[in-house]
A and B are shown apart, each in its own frame.
Chain A
Amino acid sequence: MKGMSLIVKTVTNIVIGFIFIYGLYIILHGHLTPGGGFAGGVIIAGVFVLKLLTFGSKAKDERSASTQASVWESIGGLLFVSVAFLGLLLAGTFFINFLPKGTPLHLLSAGIIPICNIAIAIKVGAGLFAIFLALAAQKYIIED
């Protein structure tokens, strides 16, 4: 996939870090403010899509990025399920909130919800980026 012009590259260089930090903020504050794992994950996927569309890439790198995205998606899914099974082991119920609740309205509160948010964000972000790589980036030859 080819890159874009110099103007787009410069603007992307300035903007992309802020978008990434915004996505992280949305994920980590998912239990206090609007947002959460789904929104933050899609924003993180959008950062990677923006970078790929702007700077372009080689076909070989795209293939390895596709594999890495699949691996990260599996890691997110495993983290989510293992939190659920830890609840089953430690407190006796699937998906029970077994961690201490902390003080309400602070960052360290709500037990397992921030961990689940991070897991969901990894899963959604990596999954959507893998879909984008497969559909838009990978060169495949149209056969006759």
Chain B
Amino acid sequence: MIVFASCIILFLIGLYAIVTKRNLIKIAIGFVLIEYAVNLFFALVGFKKGALAPIITKLDTPHNFVDPIPQALVLTAIVIGLATTALMLTVILRIYDRYKTFDIAEIKRLKG
């Protein structure tokens, strides 16, 4: 229970960075932090005390494994997270080219 709560605090730090920061790179960092928190939460939900990783090494023995389904979901989500982070940073790079600043308060007027 305390483990889950710490994970939620990590999520809230990421949300704080997204909502209140004015620097675009800091906002991207907030998104990545939220992604880590959610991935970690999935892995924590699937954990089983005293169990092994879900890989069969011997036939004909009773299997005591952790839950494989959250791991399978997170495995795809990690790679997607990298791709979306790269897309976000590309847009940030384009904004910097045009306005020469990362400060979202100064990016007000439309240009071009």
Indicate yes or no for A touching B, C-beta below 8 A. Answer: yes
**Which of B25-33, B75-83, B101-109 contacts its partner?**
B75-83
Interface residues contributed by chain A, number (CB under 8 Å): 16
**Which of B6-14, B16-24, B38-46, B52-60 contacts its partner?**
B52-60
Contact of B83 among A32, A36, A127, A142 (CB under 8 A): A127
Number of A-B contacts (CB under 8 A): 29
**Cα–Cα, bound, A55→B59 (Å):** 48
Please tell me if B73 contacts chain A, counting CB pairs below 8 Å: no
Return chain B residues, CB-CB under 8 Å to A142.
Answer: 97
Closest CB-CB distance, A93 to chain B, in whole Å?
20
B98's closest neighbor in chain A, by CB? A143
Contact of A42 among B79, B86, B93 (CB under 8 A): B79
A132's closest neighbor in chain B, by CB? B86
B79 in contact with A104 (CB, 8 Å):
no
Interface residues contributed by chain B, number (CB under 8 Å): 16
Return chain B residues, CB-CB under 8 Å to A100.
Answer: none
Return chain B residues, CB-CB under 8 Å to A124.
Answer: 79
Q: B residues bordering A, Cβ < 8 Å?
A: 53, 55-57, 59, 75-76, 78-79, 82-83, 86, 89-90, 93, 97
A34-B53, A38-B78, A134-B90 given; name 9 further pairs at CB < 8 Å. Answer: A33-B55, A38-B75, A38-B76, A104-B56, A105-B56, A124-B79, A135-B86, A135-B93, A142-B97
Q: A residues bordering B, Cβ < 8 Å?
A: 32-34, 36, 38, 42, 104-105, 124, 127-128, 131, 134-135, 142-143
